[in-house]
């Protein structure tokens, strides 16, 4: 009777396992086949030149195309010493160990066990005392056989996690190089604007001195003197804010490089012109850019990890096979363990399958499917952001280039107007306000030229960052 019940239960378990296998496989195939794909355009909307293949080798060290050795040294120092990059590198080691932990679950585990004991019994009636001692040693092995690939799916998820962390490391390199270049451009822009103001102060000082002389000689009045002094102090008032920007930006560059504030001042102290962007850039097509960007590839690895965890959760419905074995020896004294009195060998196989868990496995599968969908949404969002960043950077490059051309012509004309108005005021042909207005216009246009030059260079930095440049594999 008991044997018949056992056979019947076994048949029920086998049938249930087959049904679960079929349902699980059907679910996975349907899930993978309905994955929505995000369409990627064939070309860039803002690109006015013919598509050329993306030069990934040039992208890896894009900052060298600005031909500024100080910038090259700053980026190299930051990539080598930044705490953020080193922290991302440490996370790679952490997740490599996590993957090793998952891989170890595929193999049997072996434990050694040594025990010893002594007992002493005393009989009250005859005061007879007996003592016994025994020693044992054994090797115990256990192994959960990955019958249906659940553990292999967990290992695949851990491998995808590791790949995602590696892409995050590359992404931190991209962001750091762009941050250093942007801060450096801000520094050189502030220095250039300070030089413009200092040149303007020379002209305004001469004008203020002239008005004072005329007032003292009786050919001018106090109104012109006060107007010229006000214009002079107004120009001087912009110097402290520019000096503050220069000091703070130098400290920012030091922090980005993992150095203490002020340690890079000797390198940064000599003022240099704002570096210009490269004259041309091989853009390639959007699909090439998506393969280059670490954040897009990291999102793709995250999606692979989510898929693997969903499959692992589905396989939790299937039976599990556990094998346990032990080989041991027993002896009456510790010295006779190598020549034991008895040997014990045991092997046990156990097949278990979930029958009732109050919906726990089903809810876990639902959770993993939703996480899978969230990863898919994150991937789509990352792709859209990447495409938008490239288009925005292209627009910024083109518009700032056009604006710089117009401002340069306007500044050249304003410079001639300022010289002529100063000469005419000195000869008494025009009023002081004409000369002061010409000087003010020239200062404003020269500052705009400096700002726009820096903005165009920053747009190139944003474009290189959007294309995924600034990292190399280890």
The angle formed by the CA atoms of residues 262, 265 and 268, to the nearest 5 degrees, is: 145
pLDDT, position 8: 36
pLDDT band at 283 (very low <50, low <70, confident <90, very high): confident
Q: Which of 204-218, 325-339, 409-423 has the highest mean pLDDT?
A: 409-423
Res. 415: pLDDT tops 60: yes
Res. 26: pLDDT tops 80: no
Res. 305: pLDDT tops 90: yes
Give the Cα separation of 314 and 348 in Å (integer): 27
Could you report the per-residue pLDDT of 189-206, keeping only the tens digit for each? Answer: 999 999 999 888 888 888
Size of the chain, expressed as the number of residues it contains: 474
pLDDT, position 123: 66
Cα dist from 210 to 183, 214, 221, whole Å: 41, 6, 11
Res. 347: pLDDT tops 60: yes
Give me the percent of the chain exceeding a pLDDT of 90. Answer: 39
pLDDT, position 426: 80
Comparing 116 with 23, the larger pLDDT belongs to: 116
Give the Cα separation of 102 and 124 in Å (integer): 59
Phi and psi at 254, nearest 5°, equal: -65, -45
For 115-129, give one letter per residue: b (16+ CB within 10 A) or e.
Answer: eeeeeeeeeeeeeee
pTM: 0.81
pLDDT band at 228 (very low <50, low <70, confident <90, very high): confident
pLDDT, position 383: 92
Res. 222: pLDDT tops 90: no
Question: What is the bridge-based pairing of β-strands 109-123 and 320-331?
Answer: unpaired
Helix (DSSP H) and strand (DSSP E) numbers for the chain:
11, 4
Give me the percent of the chain exceeding a pLDDT of 70. Answer: 84
Could you report the per-residue pLDDT of 108-121, keeping only the tens digit for each? Answer: 888 888 776 676 76
pLDDT, position 24: 37
pLDDT band at 461 (very low <50, low <70, confident <90, very high): very high
Res. 280: pLDDT tops 90: no
3-state secondary structure (DSSP) of residue 258: coil
Give the Cα separation of 145 and 106 in Å (integer): 7
Note whether 180 and 74 are within 8 A (CB): yes
Return the number of other C-beta atoms located less than 10 Å from residue 167's C-beta: 21
Of 65, 63, 74, nearest to 265 by C-alpha is 74
Give the Cα separation of 83 and 80 in Å (integer): 9
Phi and psi at 104, nearest 5°, equal: -65, -20
For range 37-59, the mean pLDDT: 72
Give the Cα separation of 58 and 281 in Å (integer): 10
Could you report the per-residue pLDDT of 361-398, keeping only the tens digit for each? Answer: 899 999 999 999 999 999 999 999 999 999 999 999 99
Give the Cα separation of 304 and 311 in Å (integer): 11
Q: Does the CA dihedral 284-286-288-292 come out positive or negative?
A: positive
pLDDT band at 18 (very low <50, low <70, confident <90, very high): very low
3-state secondary structure (DSSP) of residue 416: helix
Of 118, 109, 171, nearest to 140 by C-alpha is 109
Pick the range with the lowest mean pLDDT from 52-56, 259-263, 418-422.
52-56
pLDDT band at 331 (very low <50, low <70, confident <90, very high): low
Give the Cα separation of 374 and 155 in Å (integer): 21
Residues near 379 by beta carbon (within 8 Å), at least 6 away in sequence: 38, 296, 299, 300, 302, 303
pLDDT, position 336: 57
Of 59, 55, 53, nearest to 472 by C-alpha is 59
Give the Cα separation of 251 and 273 in Å (integer): 19
Tokens 């102060």 appear where? Answer: 201
pLDDT, position 296: 93
pLDDT, position 32: 41
Could you report the per-residue pLDDT of 50-66, keeping only the tens digit for each? Answer: 567 777 777 888 999 99
Cα dist from 369 to 145, 173, 312, whole Å: 26, 32, 11
Mean of per-residue pLDDT scores for the chain? 82
Could you report the per-residue pLDDT of 289-300, keeping only the tens digit for each? Answer: 888 899 999 999
Q: Quick one: DSSP state of residue 116?
A: E
Q: Quick one: DSSP state of residue 310?
A: H
pLDDT, position 201: 84
Give the Cα separation of 270 and 255 in Å (integer): 20
Pick the range with the lowest mean pLDDT from 117-131, 148-162, 316-330, 430-444.
117-131
Pick the range with the lowest mean pLDDT from 103-117, 155-169, 240-254, 459-473.
103-117
Cα dist from 6 to 37, 105, 183, 353, whole Å: 50, 31, 76, 15
Distance spanning both ends of the chain, measured CA to CA:
67
Rg of the Cα atoms in the chain: 38
pLDDT, position 335: 59
Could you report the per-residue pLDDT of 149-185, keeping only the tens digit for each? Answer: 889 999 999 999 999 999 999 999 999 999 999 999 9
Of 116, 112, 123, nearest to 330 by C-alpha is 116
């Amino acid at each position: 009777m008991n044997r018949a019940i056992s056979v019947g239960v076994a048949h029920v378990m086998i049938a249930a396992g087959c049904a679960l296998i079929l349902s699980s496989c059907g679910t996975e195939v349907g899930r993978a086949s309905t994955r929505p794909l995000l369409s990627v355009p064939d070309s860039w909307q803002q690109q006015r030149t013919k598509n050329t293949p993306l030069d990934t080798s040039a992208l890896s060290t894009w900052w060298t195309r600005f031909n500024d050795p100080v910038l090259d040294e700053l980026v190299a120092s930051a990539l080598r010493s930044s705490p953020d990059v080193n922290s991302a590198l440490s996370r790679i080691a952490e997740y490599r160990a996590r993957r090793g932990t998952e891989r170890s679950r595929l193999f049997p585990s072996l434990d050694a066990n040594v025990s010893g004991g002594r007992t002493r019994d005393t009989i009250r009636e005859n005061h007879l005392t007996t003592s016994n001692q025994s020693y044992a040693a054994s090797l115990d092995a256990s192994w959960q056989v990955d019958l249906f690939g659940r553990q292999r799916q967990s290992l695949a998820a851990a491998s995808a996690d590791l790949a995602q962390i590696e892409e995050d490391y590359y992404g931190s390199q991209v962001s750091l190089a762009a941050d250093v270049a942007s801060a450096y451009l801000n520094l050189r822009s502030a220095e250039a604007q300070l030089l413009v103001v200092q040149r303007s102060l020379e002209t305004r000082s001469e004008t203020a001195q002239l008005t004072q002389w005329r007032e003292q000689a009786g050919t001018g009045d106090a109104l012109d003197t006060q107007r010229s002094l006000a214009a002079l102090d107004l120009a001087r008032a912009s110097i402290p804010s520019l000096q503050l920007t220069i000091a703070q930006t130098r400290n920012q560059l030091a922090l980005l490089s993992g150095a203490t504030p002020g340690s890079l001042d000797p390198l940064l102290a000599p003022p240099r012109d704002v570096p210009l962007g490269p004259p041309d850039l091989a853009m390639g097509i959007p699909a090439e850019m998506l393969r280059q960007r670490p954040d897009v590839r990291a999102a793709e690895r995250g999606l692979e990890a989510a898929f693997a965890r969903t499959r692992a959760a589905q396989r939790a419905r299937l039976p599990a096979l556990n094998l346990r074995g032990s080989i041991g020896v027993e002896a009456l004294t510790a010295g006779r363990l190598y020549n034991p009195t008895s040997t014990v060998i045991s092997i046990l196989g156990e097949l278990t399958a979930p029958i009732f868990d109050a919906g726990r496995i089903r809810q876990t599968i639902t959770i993993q499917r939703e996480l899978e969908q969230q990863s898919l949404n994150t991937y789509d969002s990352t792709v859209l952001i990447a495409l938008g960043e490239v288009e925005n950077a292209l627009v910024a490059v083109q518009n700032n280039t056009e604006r710089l051309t117009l401002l340069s012509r306007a500044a050249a004309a304003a410079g001639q107007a300022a010289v002529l108005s100063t000469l005419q005021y000195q000869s008494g042909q025009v009023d002081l306000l004409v000369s002061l207005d010409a000087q003010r216009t020239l200062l404003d246009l020269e500052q705009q030229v400096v700002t726009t030059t820096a903005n165009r260079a920053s747009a190139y930095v944003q474009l290189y960052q959007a294309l995924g440049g600034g990292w190399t594999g280890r």
